[in-house]
Amino acid sequence: MSKDELVCVGAISGAYGVKGEVRIKSFCAVPDDIETYSPLTDETGKRSFSLAIVHSVKNGFVVRIAEVGTKEEADALKGVTLHAHRDQLPSLPDDEYYHADLVGLTVVDTGGTELGHVKSVQNHGAADLLEVALPESSATVLLPFTLDAVPTVDLATGRIVADPPEGLWP
């Protein structure tokens, strides 16, 4: 199974209680949709997790994973990312993208000059930000993922055309 077939939909944040339940954070637009994509896999696609939401907690859910029966087993899963198969996920409108599809794309300015590559997609509450790794540098720039700053996303060619706000790029 190729990595492109999997999309990260959540992460295990630790054990909950002593019966093997875990806390998860959902990255889904409708957070409790994560249960409908079960069974989920780890990032390699080799480990499978059949999960059922027990109840919600701050910043996530408590879930029971069929394959986990003890607190020790639950503790060992802390930090594991949960992935769904792409064909399980809903189709998106033309102007929406899965974060996994944006990571790695080349970012160019409106004149075609390469600005870097998308390292990650972040959201600190207001809107998505593209973390762009600058060429031949360890530095990154956070580019607002808005229509003004990112007028074109072309998944077919693996490019994003950016018109960054004045003074954002070094």
What's the confidence (pLDDT) of residue 4? Answer: 64
The rounded distance, in Å, linking the Cα atoms of 89 and 33 is 10
pLDDT at 2 over 60: no
Average pLDDT of every residue of the chain: 89
pLDDT at 23 over 70: yes
Q: What is the pLDDT of residues 94-138, one digit of tens each?
A: 788 888 889 899 999 999 999 999 999 887 777 889 999 999 889
pLDDT category at 1 given cuts 50, 70, 90 is: very low
- Residue found by looking up tokens 């069974």 in the block: 39
Task: Supply 161's token pair.
Answer: 């055309």
Type of residue numbered 10: G
Across the range 64-89, mean pLDDT stands at 92
How deeply is 32 buried, as exposed, middle or buried, from its count of CB atoms within 10 A (0-12, 13-18, 19+)? exposed
- Is residue 63 within 8 A of residue 21, CB to CB? The reply is yes
